[in-house]
A and B are shown apart, each in its own frame.
Chain A
Amino acid sequence: MTTAAALANNIQDIEIDLLLEGVYRAHGFDFREYSRASIKRRVLELMRAERAETVSAFQHKLLHNAASLERFLLGVSVHATSMFRDPSFYLTFRRRVVPLLRTYPTVQIWVAGCSTGEEVYSLAILLQEENLYQKCRVYATDISQAVLRKAREGIFPLASMREYTANYHRAGGLHEFSDYYTAQYDSVIFSPGLRSNLVFSEHNLATDGSFNEFQVILCRNVMIYFNKELQARVHNLLYDSLSMFGVFGLGNKESLKFTPRAQQYEHLDGGDKLYRKVA
């Protein structure tokens, strides 16, 4: 039984290789260097959602059915995250990064891998409260048009607001979190005022190059989905896109250790993964 299970698993791993190769060749989305453990789980979950019996059958849909592909791209881009996730990160941002940003005439910020936008709106709120928003331009990018559409809308479940409100206050929020949204049935929509300096656009960290120079780049809990080789390339891309003395932010369980640019950043105080490019 062990052998049969091992064999079946082997075949399935081959099928996953072929599916990722097929998606790349047909559509240019390169998941081949994503971290295998997580992309495998995601592929199998999406396969079941598409009612495909096997990974090969799923591959067939992805190659021949545009709607299937869009659902797949959305599925791999959506993560279950929260607004003001890791509130201490935002607190440190307020205390250590905001003073630096005040010294610039304009601030270009890149949220790389913005998914459904929770982090982007959190940042917009923070910048507004610190009276910086007017001189900031936030570029929020992701690989999927469908996920960007969702992010642009600024609509989130009402049920999440309790958690987000608690996070907001822990993150040093100055007002009432509910000031920033209006409730509609079981959703909330964030105020259009928060969206004025946000630009949502497509960008693929695995395949695309640099497109601007930024004073702040946030790429939190995005590269965890990449394998080490891809992470290294993306670290180079992000480094190249960051101004000298610009600030780089990662998720709280990510690390610069063993990445190509580790020596070129200094860690800002505190337990959070905020770094400044110094070399």
Chain B
Amino acid sequence: MSFDIVVIGTSTGGLKALQIVLSSLPPDFPLPAVIVQHRGKISDDGLCEFLAEFCNMPISEPEDKEPILPGHAYLAPRDYHLLIQNGSFALSIDAPEAFARPSINALFETAADAFAERAIAVILTGANRDGVRGVSAIKARGGLTIVEDPATAACGELPAAVIERMNPDWIVPLHEIAPLLVKLIAVHNAGAPSPRSTTESAVQYGS
């Protein structure tokens, strides 16, 4: 079973956190990385250009019905919800969720529907609950869930709320998130046995 998409959600403090994560993902990162960063309705038009400075993959704000391509990062455009269906994006101007549009829940829940166990969800720093339901949906459908350690987070409220609610697969410091993603994807997508089982066999037969 391989992974086909990474979805990332963040709000307060996300700018810095995204810089760190995106700059550590290699240029040949094999999956699409779709990001919701809570943002103002008008003020932050330059956000995508800013993140492009740090991102080794091409990064853009998708248009409605644009296909989701591997090796590409996408940033949810301001004042729309970014949804996922089949292999493309769909936009919505439905009401904000937890005052947020784009909302992390909208992205994650539709990603869970479309990708089920092939989705990896990452929650970074944030100040409100938008994202809790979404990560739970990813987990319920068998996807992998990674949360930034609240201790490293600029704002630990969202990570802590997620951890309390749904017991993510991984809780890691910010700087380890990108390396973890790369490793997990390399292992699962290559169909190679995981390092742990190799060690176990070594213990079984080697000693």
- A residues whose Cβ falls under 8 Å from a Cβ of B: 1-2, 5-6, 9, 35-38, 40-42, 79-82, 85, 87, 163, 166-167, 170, 221, 223-225, 228, 231, 251-255, 257-258
Closest to A79 in B: B93
Separation in Å of the B90 CB from the closest CB of chain A? 5
Is B101 in contact with A36, judged by CB distance below 8 angstroms?
Answer: no
Is B64 in contact with A2, judged by CB distance below 8 angstroms?
Answer: no
Is B141 in contact with A80, judged by CB distance below 8 angstroms?
Answer: no
Residues of B within 8 A of A231 (CB): 65
Is B90 in contact with A1, judged by CB distance below 8 angstroms?
Answer: no
Stretch of B47-55, B80-88, B196-204 with 4 or more beta carbons under 8 angstroms from chain A: B80-88
Indicate which residue in B65, B77, B91 contacts A228 across the interface (CB closer than 8 Å): B65
The answer for the CA separation of A36 and B65 in the assembled complex, in Å, is 12
Is B61 in contact with A253, judged by CB distance below 8 angstroms?
Answer: yes
Is B65 in contact with A41, judged by CB distance below 8 angstroms?
Answer: no
Is B64 in contact with A81, judged by CB distance below 8 angstroms?
Answer: no
How does the 8 Å CB contact mask read for B42-69 relative to A, with 1 for contact and 0 for none? 1000000000000000000111111000
Residues of B within 8 A of A35 (CB): 65, 83, 85, 90
Indicate which residue in B64, B80, B94, B96 contacts A41 across the interface (CB closer than 8 Å): B94
Residues of B within 8 A of A80 (CB): 93-96, 101
Separation in Å of the A235 CB from the closest CB of chain B? 12
Separation in Å of the A83 CB from the closest CB of chain B? 12
Closest to B66 in A: A255
Is B93 in contact with A224, judged by CB distance below 8 angstroms?
Answer: yes
Is B85 in contact with A6, judged by CB distance below 8 angstroms?
Answer: no
Is B141 in contact with A37, judged by CB distance below 8 angstroms?
Answer: no
Residues of A within 8 A of B91 (CB): 221, 224, 251, 253-254
Is A253 in contact with B64, judged by CB distance below 8 angstroms?
Answer: yes
Indicate which residue in B42, B77, B92, B114 contacts A225 across the interface (CB closer than 8 Å): B92
Stretch of B8-16, B105-113, B154-162 with 4 or more beta carbons under 8 angstroms from chain A: B105-113
Separation in Å of the B79 CB from the closest CB of chain A? 7
Is A6 in contact with B116, judged by CB distance below 8 angstroms?
Answer: yes
A contact patch SS: helix
Interface size for B (C-beta < 8 A) is: 33
Given A79-B94, A251-B91, 5 more A-B residue pairs with CB atoms under 8 Å apart are A5-B140, A6-B142, A41-B83, A231-B65, A253-B64
Closest to B92 in A: A38
Is A224 in contact with B117, judged by CB distance below 8 angstroms?
Answer: no
The answer for the CA separation of A52 and B56 in the assembled complex, in Å, is 47
What are 26 of the A-B contact pairs (CB < 8 Å)? A1-B140, A1-B142, A2-B116, A5-B141, A6-B116, A6-B142, A37-B92, A38-B90, A41-B92, A41-B110, A80-B94, A80-B95, A82-B41, A166-B42, A170-B42, A223-B64, A224-B80, A224-B91, A231-B65, A251-B93, A252-B77, A253-B62, A253-B77, A254-B64, A255-B66, A258-B65
Separation in Å of the B86 CB from the closest CB of chain A? 8
Indicate which residue in B64, B85, B142 contacts A255 across the interface (CB closer than 8 Å): B64
Residues of A within 8 A of B142 (CB): 1-2, 5-6
Is A37 in contact with B93, judged by CB distance below 8 angstroms?
Answer: no
Residues of B within 8 A of A42 (CB): 94
- Evaluate whether A41 and B106 lie within 8 angstroms (CB atoms) in the complex, with A6-B141, A80-B101, A253-B91 already known: yes
Is B140 in contact with A37, judged by CB distance below 8 angstroms?
Answer: no
The answer for the CA separation of A227 and B142 in the assembled complex, in Å, is 27
The answer for the CA separation of A79 and B101 in the assembled complex, in Å, is 12
- Evaluate whether A2 and B141 lie within 8 angstroms (CB atoms) in the complex, with A41-B106, A228-B65, A253-B61 already known: yes
8 closest pairs, A vs B, by CB?
A2-B142, A37-B85, A37-B83, A80-B95, A224-B91, A38-B92, A255-B63, A35-B90
Closest to B117 in A: A2
- Evaluate whether A37 and B63 lie within 8 angstroms (CB atoms) in the complex, with A5-B142, A80-B93, A80-B101 already known: no
Residues of B within 8 A of A253 (CB): 61-64, 77, 80, 91
Residues of A within 8 A of B92 (CB): 37-38, 41, 79, 224-225
The answer for the CA separation of A40 and B109 in the assembled complex, in Å, is 11
Residues of B within 8 A of A40 (CB): 113
Separation in Å of the B15 CB from the closest CB of chain A? 21
Closest to A252 in B: B77
The answer for the CA separation of A9 and B116 in the assembled complex, in Å, is 10
Indicate which residue in A41, A221, A257 contacts B93 across the interface (CB closer than 8 Å): A221
Is B85 in contact with A36, judged by CB distance below 8 angstroms?
Answer: yes
